Amino acid sequence: MDKKFLVLYGSQTGTAEEVAERLWKKMKCLHFQGPVKAMDDYKVINLINEKLVIFVCSTTGQGEEPDNMKNFWKFLLRKNLPTHSLSNLSFAVLGLGDSSYAKFNFVAKRLYRRLTQLGGTPLLPVGLADDQHDLGPDAVIDPWENNLISSICINHKISSEVNSESAEHLLTRYRAVVVQDAELSESTPSAEKEGIEDPELRGWSKEHPVIAVVKENIRITSKDHFQDVRLLKFSTGSLEYSPGDVLTVCPSNLAENVKKFFEVTSFNPDQRICLYPNDPDVTSPSSKFRPVSQGGGGGVTVRECAEKVWDLSRQPGRQTLALMSTFSPNELEKEKLEELSSTEGQEEYLSYVCRLRRTMVEVLSDFPFTAAALTLDQIFDVLRPIRPRAFSIASSSKAHPGEIHLLVAVVNYKTKIVAPRLGLCSNWLARTVPGEKIPIWIRKGSLRFPSESTIPMVMVGPGTGVAPFRSFISEQVALEKASADSLVLFFGCRNSSGDFLCGDEWDNLSGSKKLTFFCAFSRDQPDKVYVQHLIKEQRNLLQNLMLERKGVFMVAGNAKSMPSQVKEAMLEALQIKDDQEKFINMLEVQGRLQTETWS
């Protein structure tokens, strides 16, 4: 019987990729052959020839598919696909979601239905993992994985004993080979050495970024305000972008974490290494890790890996701890790691890692014998790569030529651990200085602003959620199309003196009749006032803009409860009492209700 398989994942975080690789390893232990790939890295037209595919996907925003799944999903939704297209396919879908969102695991549910519509045969019901579960997403993932493996074993008449620990489980994905600097060749293309290439030739991406120069890095909240928010300005030459676009950066690890990493491991930071896949199904390493003889950059130093490749700030998953246990030479540490990574140890794992937000470098410090014994081969499996972070652009290339602006809230909070928890990218950006160069690339965001300036725009952006609306409003002002009659902004913050982001700009635009502006200062009076309260108060204005003039309503900001409360306030202001869901769906289909939210 054919034992080919495929694992595909779609996610904007590393969780889905980690779960996908865990499933891939389990399938390899069953002696199946096949790769694990991001959905958009796979030629979806070949899906018709696949026999067994496992899908792992998350849901972004308010029910949208992740960026590395968009092309795959667009193809799958084609109306001309025959209903028997995937009649030879057996599949499983695992969704990673958060039930605090209105459209919980929406993408996984839709994918499961679509694959079934096209003739695919599900091996088991769709798995709906929930971050809000008391035991975290693993409460669903673990039994779902076990049921999937059991189903595959039955279908392929494989003994359940094969599903036990296997020698192949110890096989690392890559073999790291130390090379000498002398092996580097001057003939190596400069674009490969620097990771930079003409975007006109290749397009912007992590492998081919544009270099931006930090122009300004200003704290725009008061010094005594608990939240440090930065307005960052970058010089970008003639780079063009549109309102709603997103700037993506790949941060470096914080210096203190790099220092700590080398204190607890035994690696030589100056060694240069090249990577070779240990398995034909493993994705080839990026060009900088390949030797010159294979057209690569000739390797990367361990120091550069610790600074720019491995994510030392992420919280390790249970799979990571399980890997560390297999690599550990110390019985006590091995036993503890096995306990933390076991199904029975989920509660202890949550207490040790999740609730305290313990980082990877701190875990390595807590298991010193294991950390010191890790080899270069093993560390590439134990540590995940740093993932790019995306920020809504807060400027207009027409209003701010040659510049890109970001509004960045610096993540810094306390748990029971003494050291503060620091968000990697926000703190890295906050530490940049004028003149510093950083690689960036731009992609389309989820917001689609209307091209006609006469279409009314109702924009709701508390805190740094105001960024994409600053971009759009700035562009309308630059084009001399801004009017208080069509541009309405609801902004929310705590204090007029603490975190009134870009307050002078909004007041000036409002005073010159280019913007209708409402601000909810939630803590400036005894009773808290939020944007949803102001929306309800402006029912006459909302009814005119949305019902009579067919305007567009956009929401951006924190995803926890604000978006749903704002939608409820909109429905109340518009006096939509019956068929509310139908009305919301109508607005969304017409592009007149759009959200861009983040956790």
- For the chain, the structural domain boundaries read 6-170, 457-598
**Ordered strands of the 552-558 beta sheet:** 516-521, 487-493, 457-460, 552-558, 593-598
Q: Report residue 559's pLDDT band, with 50, 70 and 90 as the boundaries.
A: low
pLDDT at 184 over 80: no
The pTM assigned to this predicted structure is 0.88
Over the stretch 120-129, which tens digit does the pLDDT of each residue have? 999 999 999 9
pLDDT, tens digit, 9 for 90 and up, residues 375-408: 999 999 999 999 899 999 999 999 999 999 999 9
Please report the beta strands in 225-327, taking only residues with DSSP state E, as ranges in sequence order: 229-235, 246-249, 272-277, 300-301
Its CATH architecture, for the domain 457-598, is 3-Layer(aba) Sandwich (3.40)
Tell me the percentage of the chain whose pLDDT exceeds 70: 92
The pLDDT of residue 466: 98
**Percent of the chain scoring above 90 in pLDDT:** 75
Secondary structure of residue 170 in the 3-state scheme: helix
pLDDT for 238-276, tens place per residue?
888 999 999 999 999 999 999 999 999 999 999 999 999
**Which residues, 6 or more positions from 36, have their beta carbon under 8 angstroms from its beta carbon?**
6, 7, 8, 9, 20, 21, 23, 24, 281, 283
Q: Categorise residue 348: left if φ over 0, alpha if ψ from -120 to 50, beta otherwise.
A: alpha
**Residue 185 pLDDT more than 60?**
no
Phi-psi region at 115: left, alpha or beta (left = phi > 0; alpha = psi -120 to 50): alpha
Average pLDDT over residues 278-288: 89
The per-residue pLDDT for 293 is 86
Average the pLDDT over 567-581 and give the result. Answer: 95
Asked if residue 64 lies in contact with residue 92, where contact means CB atoms within 8 angstroms, the answer is: no
Identify which of 276, 290, 286 has the alpha carbon closest to the alpha carbon of residue 172.
Answer: 276
What is the pLDDT averaged over residues 154-160? 81
pLDDT band at 191 (very low <50, low <70, confident <90, very high): very low
pLDDT bracket for residue 187 (50, 70, 90): very low
pLDDT interval class at 534 (50, 70, 90): very high
> What's the confidence (pLDDT) of residue 295?
84
State in Å, rounded, how far the first CA of the chain is from the last one.
45
Q: What is the dihedral of CA 247, 252, 253, 259, to 10 degrees?
A: -160
Would you state the pLDDT for residue 423?
95
Arithmetic mean of pLDDT, 562-575:
94
Q: What per-residue confidence (pLDDT) applies to 445? A: 84
CATH topology match: 6-170 vs 457-598 = yes
Long-range contacts of 29-33 (CB under 8 A, 24+ apart): 29/162, 29/163, 29/165, 29/166, 29/168, 29/169, 30/3, 30/149, 30/152, 30/153, 30/156, 30/158, 30/162, 30/163, 31/3, 31/162, 32/3, 32/4, 32/5, 33/3, 33/4, 33/5, 33/281
Residue located via tokens 């926000």: 426
**CA-closest candidate to residue 285, choices 268, 265, 299, 267:** 299
The Cβ of residue 575 has, within 10 Å, a number of other Cβ atoms equal to 10
Model pLDDT, residue 515: 98
Checking if the pLDDT of 555 tops 50, the result is: yes
Q: Is the separation of the CB atoms in 56 and 179 below 8 Å?
A: no
Give the confidence band of 44 by pLDDT, cuts at 50, 70, 90. Answer: very high
Read off the pLDDT of each residue in 74-94 and give the average, rounded to a whole number: 95
Of 359, 271, 380, the closest CA to residue 314 belongs to 359
DSSP state of 317: P
Fold of 6-170: Rossmann fold (3.40.50)
How far apart (Å, rounded) are the C-alpha atoms in residues 28 and 22? 10
Residue 102 confidence (pLDDT) above 90: no
- C-alpha–C-alpha distance, residues 237 and 31, integer Å: 52
Average pLDDT over residues 309-329: 94
Tell me: pLDDT of 211 over 70. Answer: yes
Distance CA(172)–CA(98), nearest Å, equals 32
Q: Which residue, 113, 116, 95, 115, is CA-closest to 105? A: 95
pLDDT at 195: 36
Residue 418's contacts (CB-CB under 8 Å, 6 or more residues apart) are none
Is the predicted pLDDT of residue 113 greater than 50, yes or no?
yes
Reported confidence tier of residue 100, pLDDT bands at 50, 70, 90: confident
pLDDT band at 514 (very low <50, low <70, confident <90, very high): very high
Average pLDDT in the 291-309 region? 93
Q: What is the mean pLDDT of residues 163-180?
A: 70
Residue 148 has pLDDT above 90, yes or no: yes
| Long-range pairs of 335-339 with CB within 8 A, sequence gap ≥ 24 | 336/367, 337/367, 337/370
Q: What are phi and psi of 421, to 5 degrees?
A: -85, 125
- Measured between alpha carbons, how far is 189 from 191 in angstroms, rounded to an integer? 5
Q: Which pLDDT belongs to residue 477?
A: 97
Q: Write the single-letter amino acid at 75.
A: F
Expressed in percent and rounded to 5, the helix, strand and coil fractions of the chain are 40, 20, 40
Average pLDDT of the segment spanning 14-26? 88
Q: Is the pLDDT of residue 564 over 50?
A: yes
